[in-house]
């Protein structure tokens, strides 16, 4: 059975052209979503994934209608493949029920993985270069070591409340208690 999936991003758009193309492609049932692809929980997609059975083919007008990113698209297609369901994209002329379609899709996946690895390597390289220049990531320290010792000492005398010390040193209660909890000084 051919099952169609159509998605529009905004309420001002309509699925008419997608639906016509899916019906012309022989889809017997069509699932719709009217929301951004960046939203992970799309009811029409979930319903379609629950509906399909082995030997079915999911047909989409364009690949970007099915997944919000290449990585997400790969997850969805792998989910379909484990159910024995193939994918056909009309615009890209891709059909994962054929050897050539599977090859192209796996090439997309390999390129996506390659891109993720390059981004990770560049990020690690940038962090290492920053460390060599003496820069450390993370939030700035609110109190230097001397102020931290002073806050702990003043609080231990029971002369100042936590609110008084927070106001005096310009820190939040959460930060104050985090400093108290830290036993290193």
Q: For residue 7, give the H/E element and its range.
A: strand 2-8
Task: Give the single-character DSSP code of 9.
Answer: S
What is the reported pLDDT for 116? Answer: 83
User: pLDDT digits over 142-160, tens only?
Assistant: 888 899 899 999 999 989 8
Distance of alpha carbon 115 from alpha carbon 123, whole angstroms: 12
Active site residue 9: yes
If you average pLDDT over residues 4-26, what whole number do you get? 90
User: Any residues with CB less than 8 A from the CB of 2 and at least 6 apart, and which?
Assistant: 25, 26, 27, 28, 56, 57, 59, 88
State pTM to two decimals.
Answer: 0.61
Question: Of 9, 86, 125, 162, which is the active-site residue?
Answer: 9
More confident residue, 136 or 65: 65
Closest to 9 in 3D by CA, of 18, 27, 22: 18
Which tens digits make up the pLDDT trace of 24-70? 999 999 999 887 766 667 899 999 999 999 999 999 999 888 887 77
- Residue labelled with tokens 């051919």: 2
């Amino acid at each position: 059975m051919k099952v169609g999936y159509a998605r529009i991003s905004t309420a001002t758009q309509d699925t008419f052209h997608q639906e016509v193309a899916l019906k012309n492609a022989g889809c017997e049932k069509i699932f719709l979503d009217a929301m951004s692809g960046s939203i992970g929980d799309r009811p029409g997609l979930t319903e379609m994934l629950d509906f399909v059975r082995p030997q079915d083919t999911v047909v989409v007008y364009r690949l970007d209608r099915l997944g919000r990113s290449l990585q997400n698209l790969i997850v969805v297609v792998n989910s379909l493949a484990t159910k024995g369901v193939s994918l056909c994209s009309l615009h890209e002329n891709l059909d994962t029920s054929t050897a050539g379609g599977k090859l192209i899709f796996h090439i997309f996946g390999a390129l996506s993985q390659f891109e993720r690895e390059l981004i990770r390597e560049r990020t690690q390289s940038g962090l290492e270069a920053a460390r060599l220049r003496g820069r450390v990531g993370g939030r700035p320290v609110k109190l230097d070591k001397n102020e931290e010792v002073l806050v702990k000492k003043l609080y231990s005398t029971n002369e100042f409340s936590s609110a008084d010390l927070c106001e005096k040193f310009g820190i939040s209660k959460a930060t104050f208690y985090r400093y108290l909890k830290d036993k290193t000084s």
